A and B are shown apart, each in its own frame.
Chain A
Amino acid sequence: MQHLWLIPTLPLIGFAVNGIFGKRFPKSTVSAVAVGSVVLSLLWAVKVLAALGSLDTPHVEQYFTWFQSGDLRFGFDLQVDRLTAVMLMVVTGIGTLIHIYAVGYMAHEGGYARFFAYMNLFMFFMLILVMAANYLLMFVGWEGVGLCSYLLIGFYFLKQSATNAGNKAFIVNRIGDFGFMLALFLIVIHFRSLEFSVVLPAVSGKPEETLNLIALLLLVGATGKSAQIPLFVWLPDAMEGPTPVSALIHAATMVTAGVYMVARSAPLYQAAPLAMEVVALVGLATAVFAATIGLLQNDIKRVFAYSTVSQLGYMFLAAGVGAFSAGIYHVMTHAFFKALLFLGAGSVIHALEGEQDIRHMGGLRKKIPVTYATLMCAGFAIAGFPFTSGYFSKDEILLAAHHHHPWMYWVGVVTAGMTAFYVFRCLFLTFFGDYRGHHHPHESPWVMTGPLAVLALLSLGGGFIKIPQYLQPVLPREETAHDLSLVVIASSAGLIGIALAYYLYVLKPALPDQLAQSFRGLYRLVYNKYFVDELYDAVFVRPTVTGSRTVLWRQVDVGVIDGIVNGVGAVARIAGGVLKLIQSGNIRSYATWVVFGSLFLIVAMGLLVVNTAAGGAR
């Protein structure tokens, strides 16, 4: 017994304490509780992992039966295997850094205790998600992180756009859950269990068609949580939340839950080739699609948001081509450099008192040097600059893609070039040239730059933590020939992207506008994100709203159904009015009615008895 339950429970305690008493605490106490609970959780996780050693078999701890119906038992059971170990370290490690950073970032914001309570609650659910020993408990974490995401996106609840974004995130995720839930029901029917240890080893005996269906339904859930086509639309809007939230939830951890879930279900996906192909295609399509949108965004956080969508696409591509461990590798390195990009962006925004538009930045290199230096590290990592963390994980994915279908590799390479381009476009516009705004930029305090520095080191050197080798026992991978030329091509794409960005935004800053002029139509299409939001609104949202309001409610409910009811009432009233005439007060006419009435009743009851008797006899 390693008391695994402590790992998620510690942040839950932090949530409860700050949630109930936080308003009465000074900020320092709130921060101590919030950061402390996450640090303790990290330390306990380290202790547990140290004690469990090589983890060749999963370590499972069963606590109590959550619910039981018929022969089905769903337990509150946690487990740790190598896959969970990686996720645990990422979640608690990055979580700790971001909590520390947030102490500085949120220092002057209202709702301080509420913010940290939600963050701790998020940690609880995220840890449940990665430690669950069955799909149902995983679903608990899955829904829980969605809730925290909703609460934190809408943290500035006075702003309509923030609460709209929160609702959108929740509802789009619910659409994904539609698939997840149906997948769970299918698994229960076919496996009579939701335990990973029961379901996954049993896939070999099941019909492929069933497995494909389950895997595809799970994928629907994953596209919601991990912002893949067609359900990616909520993530860019989610940037309404405070920046540490974007870093923790909408970049480093929660959005990778879909990748984790697919990797967790690897045996199932491997037995479902059709679903695998779909996973790869969805991932690849999302990677390219989001990258093109990223090319033209001007809000620093939105650039990184589309970049997240795109990078998540890479992870799905990895899973889809069977390189699950490469996907998890990228989950980790992406957590390093994307958390850094967001936190760095937060530091820039903090320095400029809320400015997020890169057109109003520029020349910040000298004014906020630590932020600049660390952000450049993140930029090189995401661009796949040789020997940075992103280089290793991206190569792993692209090589596996090449092994699967060479064309997927080439599309991936082009995407990598675009990624390097738009990230550096953003960095150059922010830090190079002359300052175009009117604030007085100042460097952030050490609580913020400290985590930036740590993440910068991880972004550069984190790739040397060889995740695929570590995961070999849980997520075996095919050894692919290490084709050096493919590696060189992939890295060059990144370098070309950086160079192009340098040329266009540092050397010839007038050129981009001219280009935009000459490709007006295309420019507008991409700039407006292909009008996907508008399309969904016109096709799904508005018909539902007007259909419900005018047709279902006003016409069917009030018009037809209630109309009939009131009609019956009116008929009764009119009939009553007619019958009232009989109430003449004349005793003799009453007597006549009594006789007729009795006769009628006797005949009617006689008929009824005969009928039922006849019915009974039949």
Chain B
Amino acid sequence: MDQHLLSIVLFTPLAGLAVLLFLPGENKTLIKLWANLVAFAGFLVSLPLASRFDASNGGYQFVEKAPWIPTMGVQYIIGIDGISLLLVMLTTLIGFLSILSSWTSIDERVKEYYAMFLLLQTGMIGVFVALDFFLFYVFWEIVLIPMYFIIGVWGGPRKLYAAIKFVLYTLAGSVLMLLGILTLYFQHFKQFGYYTFEVAALMRLDLPLGLQQWVFWAFFLGFAIKVPMFPFHTWLPDAHVEAPTAGSVILAAVLLKMGTYGFLRFSLPLLPKASIDQTIVQALAVLSIIAIIYGALVSLMQQDWKKLVAYSSVSHLGFCTLGIFALNPNGIAGSVIQQINHGISTGMLFLIIGVIYERRHTREIAAYGGLAHVMPKFATVFAFAMLSSAGLPLLNGFVGEFTILQGAFEASRTWAALAVTGVILGAAYLLWLYQRTMLGQVTNARNLHLPDLSPRELAVFAPLILWAVWIGVYPKPYFDVLEKPVAQLVERVRPSYFTGQVQAGLTEHRAP
């Protein structure tokens, strides 16, 4: 059992999907029940990953390895370290909650909808557990398909435009990434005489800086579009606005993290020389900082509730990429924690929009106002999500932001000083949104009798709130599982980082 645990986690949604296909399409309740059951089971089976994970072991755990396409050197290798563990847990929980949140909002093509979600679930978990580059690429592309349909079929008025933009945009990135992967693949053959996509094997490659840089930029396009980093972000507002609630939640909470994860799992360890190349580091840090400030400023001005949260994602993900390219333990650990945090808080913010959209069918901020009076529970949950997103201490966001900024500060004071302005602006756009939607008098008569959160809706929010408090008050377990993999990553990119620190004692200013 234990040696196939990870495969079970990976394929539970797919197995559920197989059964789902044989259920009668007209019995919507049965389909919903089954999908929820499968998603919940998917979450439950992932729990042992966390409880049996050994934080003191720096290597991959729950590893499974089997040949898949021997002629091409493709293998089925999966395994997780602390970084992927957290992202897998995020995926199984958020996946379940977004399926739960769809209960009343989706009424058309119910069977297809849940089928897509279950397929998506396996695809996302696959991305985070694959240790064979080919396998990774397969999962990476699989994710696109259900998301395309979720936006394109169950989306809003401009769903086709948004769906096609989403697919073409990300496809363009992944094609270049594929070229990068193939380059490594052929280089491996040249240096070692056999073909393989195994990441551990590819790490043994000795590549000149020039080639590493080339491959880095190829990977960069794939990952940066996914994150999305400035200026590749314009697919995101459209996709978010048009996607159904659960689609937005998954998109923000999990899908974007595939990009940041790609940097951590592939770009940094496989291309260490390029990753500390000054031009590249500076460029990525600058793009991250632009994303932080620019995303926040544009967010400030949105009149569409969902678009506002979408742009805030650009800002928050800017913190995550900035942390990665601080290239020190604080920056990277903070980045991973912030990826989880963003999943929790932005997930909540999109769920909140879903709740209100289902009642009023508009996302126009001006259509609201004074909702706190009508829906007090809803207002409390929203306040909670807002504070978590704004990085209030004792809630999750602060822990990630603080650690990232500490790391960024170690790398460059200027970066950190600029990035901290994002914290100010973050408070501004959220508070203003809250004021315009929740506070004041009820200005629109149609808002007067909106029902407050139902028990099912509360059940969707409760785990996220608890999780936010847990990370905010006691994040130590998270830092513990991240310590080893993050240290290895830093060691890999900057071999002298830890020894240098010991020799130099308390170094003053370590520019990467």
Residues of A that sit less than 8 Å from B by CB: 64-70, 72, 136, 139-140, 143-144, 147, 150, 154, 157-160, 163-164, 166-167, 170-171, 174-175, 177-178, 181-182, 185-186, 188-190, 192, 544-545, 547-549, 552-553, 556-557, 561-562, 565, 569, 609, 612-613, 615-616, 618
Contacts and interface: CB of A to CB of B under 8 A. Distances in A.
10 contacts: A66-B475, A67-B476, A139-B393, A174-B423, A177-B423, A182-B413, A544-B300, A548-B301, A552-B297, A612-B187
Contacts of A613: 190
Contacts of A190: 506, 508
Contact of A552 (B187, B235, B298): B298
B417 interface: yes
A189 B476 CA distance: 21
Nearest to A172: B424
A241 to B, nearest CB: 14
The majority secondary structure among interface residues of chain B is helix
A68 B440 contact: no
Nearest to A143: B393
A556 B474 CA distance: 41
Contact of B211 (A72, A544, A615): A615
Sort A-B residue pairs by CB-CB distance and give the 10 closest, nearest first. A185-B409, A548-B297, A140-B393, A549-B301, A562-B234, A157-B439, A163-B439, A174-B424, A70-B329, A553-B298
B406 A144 contact: no
Contacts of A150: 431
A182 B410 contact: no
B405 A181 contact: yes
Interface string B482-512: 0100000000000000000000001011000
B467 interface: no
Contacts of A70: 329-330, 483
A199 to B, nearest CB: 13
B183 A181 contact: no
Contacts of A157: 372, 438-440
A182 B476 contact: no
Contacts of A144: 392-394
B285 to A, nearest CB: 16
Interface in B389-420: 392-394, 398-399, 402-403, 405-406, 409-410, 413, 416-417, 420
Nearest to A151: B383
Contacts of B47: none
A616 B191 CA distance: 10
Contacts of A178: 420-421, 423-424
B210 A69 contact: no
A550 B420 CA distance: 24
Interface string B366-384: 0000101100000000000
A139 B208 CA distance: 47
Given A69-B329, A616-B208, A147 B409 contact: no
A182 B420 contact: yes
Contact of B301 (A147, A553, A561): A553
A65 B476 contact: yes
B372 to A, nearest CB: 6
Interface string B312-348: 0000000000000000011001100000000000000
B441 A158 contact: yes
Interface string B422-439: 011001100110010011
B294 interface: yes
B231 interface: yes
Contact of A615 (B210, B370, B393): B210
Given A185-B405, A618-B210, 6 more contacts: A158-B439, A163-B439, A163-B440, A171-B428, A177-B423, A553-B301
B363 interface: no
A615 B208 contact: yes
Interface of B: 165, 168-169, 183, 186-187, 190, 207-208, 210-211, 214, 231, 233-235, 294, 297-298, 300-302, 329-330, 333-334, 370, 372-373, 387, 392-394, 398-399, 402-403, 405-406, 409-410, 413, 416-417, 420-421, 423-424, 427-428, 431-432, 435, 438-441, 473-476, 479-480, 483, 506, 508-509
A611 B352 CA distance: 53
Nearest to B296: A548
Point out which of A150, A553, A569 has the most chain B C-beta atoms below 10 A from its C-beta.
A553
A143 B409 CA distance: 21
From B190, B214, B402, name the one whose CB has the most chain A CB atoms within 10 angstroms.
B402
Given A140-B394, A557-B234, A565-B169, A158 B370 contact: yes
Contacts of A182: 409, 413, 416-417, 420
A557 B298 contact: yes
B399 A67 contact: yes
B271 to A, nearest CB: 14
A181 B406 CA distance: 9
B450 to A, nearest CB: 17
A553 B333 CA distance: 32
A609 B187 CA distance: 10
B300 A167 contact: no
B211 A612 contact: yes
B102 to A, nearest CB: 29
Given A147-B387, A545-B301, A167 B476 contact: no
A615 B214 contact: yes
A175 B387 CA distance: 17
Contacts of A170: 427, 431
B464 to A, nearest CB: 18
A190 B423 CA distance: 23
Contacts of A136: 402
B476 A68 contact: yes
Nearest to A114: B376
A177 B409 CA distance: 16
A565 B475 CA distance: 41
A68 B409 contact: no
Contacts of B393: 139-140, 143-144
B416 A612 contact: no
B440 A167 contact: no
A561 B231 contact: yes
Given A68-B476, A612-B183, A147 B424 contact: no
A69 B435 CA distance: 36
A552 B438 CA distance: 27
A143 B403 CA distance: 17
B396 to A, nearest CB: 11
B333 A69 contact: yes
Nearest to A179: B420
Contacts of A164: 435
Contact of A545 (B300, B398, B441): B300
Nearest to A147: B392
B208 A618 contact: yes
A167 B433 CA distance: 11
Interface centre among B187, B235, B298, B421 (most CB of A within 10 A): B298
B506 A167 contact: no
A562 B233 CA distance: 9
A324 to B, nearest CB: 26
A569 B169 CA distance: 10
Contacts of B300: 544-545, 548
Given A548-B300, A612-B183, A158 B440 contact: yes
Nearest to A617: B208
A166 B440 CA distance: 12
Contacts of A68: 476, 479-480
A234 B330 CA distance: 34
Contacts of A612: 183, 186-187, 211
B190 A616 contact: yes
B169 A69 contact: no
A189 B372 contact: no
Contacts of B233: 561
